[in-house]
Amino acid sequence: MSYIRERIQSFSHAFRGIHTLYKETPNAHIHLIVAIIAILLGLLYKISPGEWLAIIIAIGAVFSMEAMNTALERLSDYACNKEIHPTIKKVKDLSAAAVLTVVLAALAVGLIIFLPKIF
């Protein structure tokens, strides 16, 4: 029984993390708005199951990377007492670059799927 309780507790930690992401990360709000737009466009244009799969993976990747970026930023700020340190700055820049890379890939997915349907 303790195994099941631990699994349930691990989900509660994850949901608390999602809550923190949306409460404390302004970029997550932007990603959420864009994700809702992509879903609405998918419904409007009746995209194929394969296209839905690409959209879902892209949305999941963006939110996952934003969560990792936020976690790394918080940990970095804590580790250096919010002082500017050249190595910490590089870590934070690389983490932000990872988010940007996934966002650009998601944008490409959206353009490939929706542009031909819109025009």
pTM of the model: 0.91
Residue 54 belongs to some domain of the structure:
yes
The number of distinct structural domains making up the chain is 1
Residue type, 2: S
Please give the backbone phi and psi of residue 81, each rounded to the nearest 5 degrees, phi first.
50, 40
> What is the tens place of the pLDDT at every residue in 38-70?
999 999 999 999 999 999 999 999 999 999 999
Q: Give the chain's residues under pLDDT 50.
A: none
Residue 37 belongs to some domain of the structure:
yes
The CATH number of whichever domain residue 67 belongs to comes to 1.10.287
Please give the backbone phi and psi of residue 25, each rounded to the nearest 5 degrees, phi first.
-120, 100
**pLDDT at residue 1 in the model:** 66
Torsion sign over Cα 104, 34, 52, 10:
positive
Residue 5 belongs to some domain of the structure:
no
Rounded Cα–Cα distance for residues 35 and 98 (Å): 18
Residue 75 belongs to some domain of the structure:
yes
**pLDDT at residue 82 in the model:** 83
Q: Which domain holds residue 61?
A: 27-118
Tokens of 57: 């993976």
Residue 65 belongs to some domain of the structure:
yes
